[in-house]
Structure formats: C-alpha cells, structure tokens
Amino acid sequence: MACAIAAGVPAVGSPAPEFSLPDQAGRTVRLADYRGRWVVLYFYPKDDTPGCTEEACTFRDDQAALTLLGAQVVGVSLDDVASHAAFAKKYSLPFPLLADTDAKVAASYGAVTYLVVAKFAKRYTFLIDPQGRIAKAYLNVDTSRHSAEIIADLRRLTLR
C-alpha cells in the first residue's frame, strides 16, 4: 500500500493541501469547491505525451463510473492554461486540468521532479475523501489501469 513514503507526500489520513489554480478555461478551481465529494487529484508530467494521454483518456472513458461513485477527477501539471485547453479539446476531456505553472501545489503534494534544468509533476494521484483528507496515495501509477484501480478503491471505501 502506498502511503507517505516519498519526501513531502502528505500522509494518508492527513488534510489534503489546499489549492487554488486556473483550469483549462481560465476559471479558478479550489479544493474547497469539492468538499462533500471524493476527489481524484492526479498529477502528470506533460500534456499530450503518450503516458499522460493514456491516463487522461482512461479517466475520460471511466467518467460515468467515477461520477456514480461521487468522485470528481482533477488533473494537475506544470503546463499553462493554453496547453491544457488544447489537450482537453483534442481528447474531449470532461474534467478540470489545472495549471500549476509555479509548481507550488505539486510541491505541497511532494509531486515535483527535476530533469536537468526542467521541472515536471511526478505521476502521483491522491484520493481525497469528502471531508478533505487523504484517503489513499498512488505513487507508482500504471497509466493503462490506473482509473480502474481508483474505481475499485472507491467502491471499497464507499461501501464501508
């Protein structure tokens, strides 16, 4: 089970770090906007790259199942609003993609990595419960089956 094993990653059971970031349409999105719902907060390295596209499209394809479980998917990368807008339009992504261009939110979740002179978001996902606490952290994501893994965990967690 993945929990706070990476530096700076919030521990399961702790309050999820708050955020306020623009989405692909330029609207400000806050974690507090989703209080009372499950949030699938996923960080990803770069818009329109193979792994990131696969991950986003599986979340898109599983949107109905996630919605039935009371979950809202929210993607975050260090790309800007324009990049997110093009990515969301190209793949018909029905959920917010947040532009964390200064990497402050990714850093608050321990999800920043540096590659030579560039920085990227790590491929981490946090399942946040309706009270705003970290229910599960996914630090080793397989993009092809990640959405199904989240759905299975949500089913288990919501049937408690």
Check if 52 is active-site: yes
The catalytic position among 9, 29, 52, 106 is 52
Question: Which candidate, 62, 20, 7, 14, places its Cα nearest to that of 40?
Answer: 62
Neighbours of 27 (CB within 10 A): 10
Q: What sign does the CA torsion over 16, 111, 44, 56 have? A: negative
The set of catalytic residues is 52
